[in-house]
Every structure is written in structure tokens, then in C-alpha cells.
Amino acid sequence: MQRIASTLGLFPLPDAQRDRLADLKGHQKEDLIGGEEPPELTETYDAARERLIDDQHDAGLDRVVEGQARWDDFLAHPLCVHESVRTEGIVRYYDNNNFYREPVVTDELTESGDVAADLRKAAGLTDDLQAVLPGPYSLSALATDEYYGDRATFLDAVAEFLAGEAAAFPDAVETLYLLEPSLVTDAPESGEHERVRDAIDAVVGAVDAEVVVQGYWGTFDEALHGHLLDTDADALGYDLVTAEEAATDLVREHGTTDRVSLGVVDGQNTRVEEPAAVGDRVEAFREAASSGIDAAYLTPNTELFHLPVNKCVAKLRTLATAADPEVAR
């Protein structure tokens, strides 16, 4: 089984750029990113991107993300900078001590190219580029709709919007992660499963890259998992930090995709795992699955912005070492 070291993106800002951005942007709600930045901000974000990519190269990751330094609003970012969206008060980001601006969709969600533009810059700095987007279900759950009228239509529209964003990605993108924590924390009703499947397929169909659908803060319920296995996504992702037993039971019972993504280091705790222990965890999952697994992405279970910079970098090294064929053997 091939092991591929990667992440879910959304890195903490490097020290130098964090201070610089705080000075340039300020600390209030209205100071957050708007989508079009003045040159000094663009330069600072360019420097942050370069640093984040260097850190991933130094650690030895197999897939390198842009780092998403501009994503002030976490997974809600692609909507928060959209011209058809008004941002309102600061609201809690899942069950964390983190907050984002609530995006309120007030008009048609057309393609913006915001994420693609950052990826084009990243493509000049690395091979093995991996893109990260919120999955359609999670992005629609993080937003408020004042335009499309009902939940189902809104989900379809968000999926179509994300498909447009993904279609604009540069050819260099090899892998696309769709982050779908809401599929776990705020699971769709059984009547919605097929629509969720179709929403994911809309995005998968828009890119010429391997697509991973990653849930976290728990795992998918059984019925939803079945529908996710039916999507065109190449791999499903499981959080083995918060839900190892449930995820293992799920794949023992129902099998999984040929390729999987495994959240094997804790993205929300500074304790740095031993690569050998991470390897054992991966192996145990592979053995439990009732279907064969050809390749496993090894990732943190969540985005990495929850950690201070030094621990984030240490976790990257753990993942790279655990994925090293020498260690794996």
C-alpha cells in the first residue's frame, strides 16, 4: 500500500506575516479580507505562501498545499469574499474557540476565480500541488441563504459554484481535497443523501485531478457512508484521531474506496506523535478494512491553523516520516 504524506491545508500564518498583517489590516471584523487586496497585502500573502510551501518541502510532504493564508474565515472563505455575499456578525466555527464572519448569500453565486488565482501562484513554487476546498454540504451549512430560497436548491447552487471554482484550477493541481466536517457534525437527513452525493459529483466532475472527500470531528453515519462510496470521488477521508473505532467499524463492515485519506495526527493538540505509532495506526486501519486499500493519504485530522507554527511544522515532519517507505516497511 502506497503512503502519501499530505494535509488538509489552512495553515497557521508564519510569525513574520502574522505580525505584518495585523499591522496592515487591524483587528476588527471590517478589517478581514475582502477579495481584492492592496499591493502591500498581496506582497505579504505572497511571502506567507512561499514560507508555507517551503515548510512543506522541508518536511518532505508528498502533496503540497497553497496554505490558504488568506482564508480569514476558514472554510467559509470562498463565500466570504464573493461579490454576491454580504458578511454579517462573527459566529462560532464548529465547536471551537474560533470565529468567522457569517456569509449571507444575496445573489447568484457565479464563478469568482479567487481560489484558482492563489493556486496559480502556488503552482510556480511547487510540483505535487494539492488544492483544498470546502465540500458543498459544509459550505452551504456554514452560510445563510437569502437568494435561492430552499435548502436543496441552495446546496445545488453551492455545488455548482464550487465546480466553477475547481474548473478554473491550473493543470498543476494533482489532488483536490473537499473538506466536509459538516457531513459528520451536522449530518444530512437520509432524504438528502442522494442530493449530497450529486453535489459532490458535480465538483468531482469539474476537475482533472484525484478528489478526496474528508469528514472530521467524528465519522460518517452508515447510510451516508454508503452514498459517499457511490460518488465519483477517488478517496474518502476518515478522522482516526477523534473516531478511530467508529471509522474502523465502518470500513470493516462496508469496505471503503481503493484509496483513502486518514487523519492520523491530531491537528488540535500540540503533542507530537511518533511516526512509528502513526504507521501502526495506518496499518491497523488497512487490515480492518474489508476491501483492499491501494494507497493511503496520511494527514492531520483537521486543518492545522489550530496549532502554533512550531508544532504545525513538527506534525508535518511526523507525517512525512510515517509515509516514508523505509519507515513503513
Partner 1 sequence: MTDTRSQFQPDDHENEHFLLTTVVGSYPKPTWLNRASDLHADHDHDFDDDDWAEAADDASRLITHEHERAGLDAVVDGEMRREEMVEFFAERIEGYEFNGPVKVWGHNYFDKPSVVEELEYDEPWLVDEYEFTAGVANRPVKVPITGPYTLASWSFDEAYGDEAELAYDLAELVNEEVTKLVEAGARYIQIDEPALATTPDDHAVVGECLERIVADIPEDVRVGLHVCYGDYSRIYPEVNDFPIDEFDVELANGDYEQIDVFTDPEFEPDLALGVTDAHVAEVESVEEIKENIKQGLKVVPPERLTVSPDCGLKLLPREVAYGKTANMVQAAREIEAELDAGEIDAEALRSGED
Question: Which amino acid makes up residue 83?
Answer: E
Site string for partner 1, 42-81 (x = CB under 8 A): ------------------------------x---------
Name the burial class of residue 241, with classes exposed (0-12), middle (13-18) and buried (19+) by CB atoms within 10 angstroms of its CB.
Answer: buried
Which residue is listed with cell 458535480? 202
Binding of partner 1 by 22 (CB under 8 A): yes
Rounded to whole angstroms, how far apart are CA atoms 238 and 220?
Answer: 8
Binding of partner 1 by 90 (CB under 8 A): yes
Shortest separation between residue 22's beta carbon and partner 1, angstroms: 4
Residue 144 β-bridge partners? 104
CA 158 from centroid of its chain's CA atoms: 16
Residue (15 or 194) nearer to partner 1, CB: 15
Binding-site member from 137, 216, 238, 305 for partner 1 (CB under 8 A) = 305
Binding-site member from 45, 94, 100, 216 for partner 1 (CB under 8 A) = 100
Q: What is the dihedral of CA 28, 53, 260, 173, to 10 degrees?
A: 100
Binding of partner 1 by 177 (CB under 8 A): no
Contacts of partner 1 in 245-284 (CB under 8 A)? 268-271
Residue 213 β-bridge partners? 178, 236
Binding of partner 1 by 16 (CB under 8 A): no
Shortest separation between residue 157's beta carbon and partner 1, angstroms: 27
Binding-site member from 5, 8, 13, 65 for partner 1 (CB under 8 A) = 13
Q: What are the start-end ranges of the E strands in the chain?
A: 2-5, 64-65, 85-92, 99-105, 129-134, 144-145, 173-179, 210-214, 235-239, 259-265, 295-300
- Report the interface residues with partner 1, using CB under 8 A: 12-13, 15, 18, 21-22, 25-29, 31-32, 72, 90, 92-93, 95, 97-100, 268-271, 305-311
